[in-house]
Amino acid sequence: MKKELQKEFIQILNKPKKVVIIPHKNPDGDALGSTLALNFFLNKTGHQSHVVSPNEYPDFLNWLPGQEGILKHSTETDKAVELIEAADLIFTLDFNSLGRVEMLEPHINASSAKKIMIDHHQEPSDYADIMYSDSNIGSTCEMVYNLISHLDAAQIDQKIATCLYTGIMTDSGSFRFPSTTSKTHHVIAELIDKGANHSEIHQNIYDTFTFDRLRLLGTALTNLKKIEELPVVYITISQEELNKNNFKKGDTEGFVNYGLSLVGISVAVIMIENEQEQIIKMSFRSKGAFSVNDFARTYFNGGGHHNAAGGVSKLSLSETESKFINSISKVKNLLQ
Ligand code: 5GP
Ligand code: MN
């Protein structure tokens, strides 16, 4: 973190402020971990801070310290909007374009609060007054750790450590993605020293499948297809298949990664039908040089990171499947 930026943060937080912290829609472990950790820190250091999430988050995150205090705009709309209107500062965490918060976007635009972005995705847009954006860092949680440790490291307690550990772990695929550095491991060691219980956190996140969710994984793996001649696999899940397995938000999290566990495969994709929103939600994963960020941006109105990105399609599931096969064939020279 640059010295200049540290100074800007120190200056803007030198008096008590009304703060709202916002993760992206459908927040994941990194988005929730980073917002909750920063929220604890700001409330401990004299500010009045709240987390406002665009919508619900999956059950496997509903044990995180402080999650019970999160205001969900989707169900507590008036309260969430009031907080945004009254805020002096709005932190936006783990995303870099306001489209990622959908219904909250007009409220953030209308607010006179100073906007602060903390994020690690590529190609940030320029809505923020203060921007801590670094796509070389594996998680927003690691960035929030950097910020807090510059401001007042002594405030990192067990709750903050638990939230930060969770997001670093989930965004790094349990410390295996290339974005994991020795610095990441130093931060993790520090968080364990501050009380994060790594074993319990891993179990809370990864070993809490319902029977329905595991059956849905079975369906997903049955639907796995390989594109002939290309190192590419994809999974489709229809709304009917979701319904049959009593789908709940978050149930398909991580399914796309199974494709990459195959030998010789460098791109894995999942396409999930969402009848209510009339979209197909897509997740892209790659190993090595192929940029799924570029691919998702070019063909599926999405983005993310070099090796992990998302996007959407407004076609039917089978049309989306065809469009994907066509699109990936166009860039086959980039695939190893
Ligand atoms: P996931 O596939 O796990 O939903 O997301 C992978 C990465 O891509 C995450 O960093 C996520 O924030 C980003 N991402 C997911 N969906 C979208 C999308 O529709 N647009 C953009 N720009 N990024 C996305
Ligand atoms: Mn993240």
pLDDT tens-place string over residues 265-309: 999 999 999 999 999 999 999 999 999 999 999 999 999 999 999
Overall pTM surpassing 0.85 (yes/no): yes
Residues 191 and 263 in one domain: no
Residues 57 and 111 in one domain: yes
> What is the total residue count of the chain?
336
Residues 101 and 31 in one domain: yes
Predicted pLDDT at 128: 97
Question: CA angle 74-79-82, nearest 5°?
Answer: 120
State in Å: Cα 331 to ligand 1 middle.
21
Closest by CA to 9, choosing from 125, 102, 122, 89, is: 89
Residues 30 and 160 in one domain: yes
Cα dihedral sign for 254, 259, 261, 266? negative
Give the CATH number for residue 316: 3.10.310.30
Residues within 5 A (CB) of ion ligand 2: 30, 94, 140, 171
Is 336's pLDDT higher than 80? Answer: no
Cβ of 120 less than 6 Å from ligand 1: no
Is 113's pLDDT higher than 90? Answer: yes
Place of tokens 């971990």: 33
Query: DSSP string covering 210-263, please?
Result: -HHHHHHHHHHHHT-EE-TTSSEEEEEE-HHHHHHTT--TTTTTTTTHHHHTST
Residues 116 and 189 in one domain: yes
Is 260's pLDDT higher than 80? Answer: yes
CA-nearest residue for atom 11, ligand 1, is 304
Predicted pLDDT at 66: 98
Cβ of 302 less than 6 Å from ligand 1: yes
Residues 125 and 218 in one domain: no
Residues 237 and 124 in one domain: no
Q: State the chain's mean pLDDT as an integer.
A: 97
Domain span at 293: 212-334
Domain boundary, last residue among 206, 221, 253 = 206
State in Å: Cα 133 to ligand 2 middle.
12
Residues 161 and 301 in one domain: no
Radius of gyration of the chain (CA): 20
Predicted pLDDT at 75: 95
pLDDT tens for 56-103 read 999 999 999 999 999 999 999 999 999 999 999 999 999 999 999 999
Residues 50 and 172 in one domain: yes
Cβ of 303 less than 6 Å from ligand 1: yes
Report how far apart, in Å, the C-alpha atoms of 80 and of each of 18, 20, 54, 104, 287 are. Answer: 13, 9, 9, 9, 39
State in Å: Cα 296 to ligand 1 middle.
9
Domain boundary, last residue among 166, 186, 206 = 206
Number of domains in the chain: 2
Domain boundary, last residue among 156, 182, 206 = 206
State how far the Cα of 101 lies from the Cα of 20, in Å rounded to an integer.
Answer: 14
Cβ atoms of residues 219 and 245 within 8 Å: yes
State how far the Cα of 88 lies from the Cα of 69, in Å rounded to an integer.
Answer: 20
Predicted pLDDT at 262: 97
Give the CATH number for residue 97: 3.90.1640.10
Residues 239 and 188 in one domain: no
